[in-house]
Amino acid sequence: MDSQGFRDAAATAIDDSEFRYSLKSLLLSSTSGNFTNTNTVASYYDNLDDRNVVSTVEPGYLRKLLPSEAPVEGEAWTDIHKDIEGKILPGITHWQHPGFHAFFPCATSFPSILGELYSAALSGACFNWICSPAVTELETIVLDWLAKVLGLPECYLSTGPTRGGGVIQGSASEAVLTAMVAARDKYLRETVPLEQFPEGSEAREDAIAHKRSKMVALATTATHSSTKKASIILGVRFHTIAVHADTGYSLTGPVLAKTLAELRARGLEPFFMTATMGTTDTCAVDDFAGIVSTLKSDPVHPAGTPGELWVHIDAAYAGSALVLPSVREQVSISLIENFHSFDMNMHKWLLTNFDASCLFVRDRNWFIQALTINQAVYGNKASEGGLVTDYREWQIPLGRRFRSLKIWFVLRNYGVKGLQSYISRTLKLGEEFADSLKSRPDLFEILTGPNFALTVFRVAGKEQGKSDEELNALTKAVCEKINASGRMWVTSTVLDGRFAIRMVTSVSTTEKEHVDRAWKILVEAAEEVVKA
């Protein structure tokens, strides 16, 4: 859908009259009614490339522009609206800008914005089915659609053989926390037997408290920090497994086996691990086949037996690329039927605005058993009849938004083919950028990639005898110079002590001309820095 299509669709969604006129002016027009309007949503997108990518305001800029008290009398919409351009937009870093090559993208699209608009209009805290049956039922249906679009194994479908299913969470961090809560509950249920420690007994409380003090969650040095944060929140131990360049920064089966043995020798009990498809630094993929094989032959709690290690797959960014069958093959996605939960953020790369973190579980009872707390005020016939899903039992908060609507709009408006061609296009841009880097070995050295439209590189010079310290300083200087251009924004990382620039080409507005422009800025900056 282009900006004119959005104007038409949004006009249909809104209708006419005075309040509606305000909404229309916000979303659509550039000259409408009695004021000229350049800061509508549609014209924002039309002219996005004219803006600097990163906000240049000073800290505290907004306090100087706004009154210290809320207005006593309501203000006219026209006054409020003009402050978007004058006061808010200067403090916005434009994540949808075609020169945004930093972090990972934070996707959106016009159908997604329309979904958000309807969701706001139908606002409710839809925690139980009866709170709005369509909210629950659409979520179950679109997450089954999505699981199929991504080629996830059948066990992750709500209609699958293991009673799995998906739930929309606010973020990948919330998803890993939810999975870890369920994993902890499952582990305790399986390893503190009811026959020996009866429900409600003091002995059971003591056994659980002792076990909790020994339980340890695992991740690697490349895993996103959200797993560590979940461990801190839950008060369980956390262990980091070091991964390096020799394995492409991915976790292998033998390294996992050694880690499990070492932890157990210290009297600890590993119960949860995050494995990643697309790590934040380099988009590495952990070795799913090696992990499966290690866990199947685990000498203490082999996979599929009580006390098994719960494996959560964090595919926050790269999971979107599973729309392509070739990517499913490449990462052996069918193997995740051996794992327990899988999460991907449609809001990173799949054209759906924040928040849309899609968490799938192989057996929904693992969530429900861990997270159901009954309170009289939430009781209702439908829930008690056991025929409906109450998503409050699959998440940490109680209330929830109508987030499936925007996913439904995106899946319908793009179709599988549209999503595939969009992902392929952004992957190709990543390959073309990496080819450009390879064409100048005198200036640049690729450290990893391109992986999922991310290439990590630094200034070349190792062969000429430059130390890592010198190269770090040069690469940092190049990074600062290109960002100062205002035309593009990249972020950096440090890999085994080597400072590197991360270049991502997967923002939906980024076209070949923008990547070419970025390349030109980069070469000019590097030539200047190296010569200086």
Nearest Cα to Cα of residue 172 among 224, 231, 250, 107: 224
Name the residue type at position 273: M
Q: Report the nearest approach of ligand PLP to the CB of residue 193 (Å).
A: 35
Residues contacting residue 114 through CB under 8 Å, at least 6 positions apart:
6, 9, 10, 13, 406, 409
Cβ 105 to ligand PLP, closest distance in Å?
10
Cβ distance to ligand PLP smaller for residue 263 or 275: 275
CB of 199 to ligand PLP, least distance (A): 35
User: Least CB distance from residue 440 to ligand PLP, whole Å?
Assistant: 28
CA 513 to chain centre: 27
Shortest Å, Cβ 223 to ligand PLP: 8
Q: How far is the CB of 171 from ligand PLP (least distance, A)?
A: 3
**Which CB sits closer to ligand PLP, 160 or 170?**
170
158: number of Cβ within 10 Å: 18
Q: How far is the CB of 115 from ligand PLP (least distance, A)?
A: 18
- What token pair was written down for 286? 């952990």
225 or 439: CB nearest ligand PLP: 225
The crossing angle, in degrees rounded to 10, of helices 3-14 and 18-27 is 170
In angstroms, what is the minimal distance from the CB of 102 to ligand PLP? 11
Minimum CB separation of residue 239 from ligand PLP in Å reads 18
Point out which residues bind ligand PLP (CB under 6 A). Answer: 104, 171-173, 224, 226, 276, 278-280, 314, 316-317, 345, 357
Quick one: how far is CA 350 from the chain centroid? 10
Residues 6+ apart with CB under 8 A from 129: 136, 137, 382, 383, 388, 389, 390
d(CA 527, CA 525): 6
Q: Name which of 104 and 457 has its Cβ closer to ligand PLP.
A: 104
CB of 160 or CB of 450, closer to ligand PLP: 450
Return d(Cα 408, Cα 123) in angstroms, integer: 17
Rounded CA-CA distance 12/6 in Å is 10
Pair of tokens at residue 7: 């104007």
Q: Report, in Å, the least distance between residue 172 CB and ligand PLP.
A: 4
DSSP-assigned states of every residue in 390-444: -GGGGSSSS-----HHHHHHHHHHHHHHHHHHHHHHHHHHHHHHHHHHHT-TTTE
Between CA 233 and CA 443 the distance in angstroms is: 45
Which residue number, 25 or 96, has a Cβ lying nearer to ligand PLP?
Answer: 96
Nearer to ligand PLP, 3 or 171 (CB): 171
175 versus 459: smaller Cβ distance to ligand PLP: 175
Q: Considering the complex, state which of residue 131 and residue 230 has its C-beta at the smaller distance from ligand PLP.
A: 230
Instruction: Count the Cβ atoms, other than its own, within 10 Å of residue 416.
Output: 12
State which residue, 171 or 508, has the beta carbon closest to ligand PLP. Answer: 171
Closest CA to 42 of 27, 32, 53: 27
- Of the two residues 286 and 314, which places its CB atom closer to ligand PLP in the complex? 314
Helix (H) or strand (E) holding 361: strand 357-361
Q: Return the number of the residue (139 or 314) whose C-beta is nearest ligand PLP.
A: 314
Q: How many C-beta atoms lie closer than 10 Å to residue 167's C-beta?
A: 25
Distance between CA 528 and CA 115 in Å, rounded? 47
Q: Residue 500, class by beta-carbon neighbours within 10 Å (0-12 exposed, 13-18 middle, 19+ buried)?
A: buried
Taking the complex as a whole, the smallest distance from the CB of residue 342 to ligand PLP amounts, in Å, to 12
CB 471 within 8 A of CB 458: yes
Residue 101: CB minimum distance to ligand PLP, A: 14
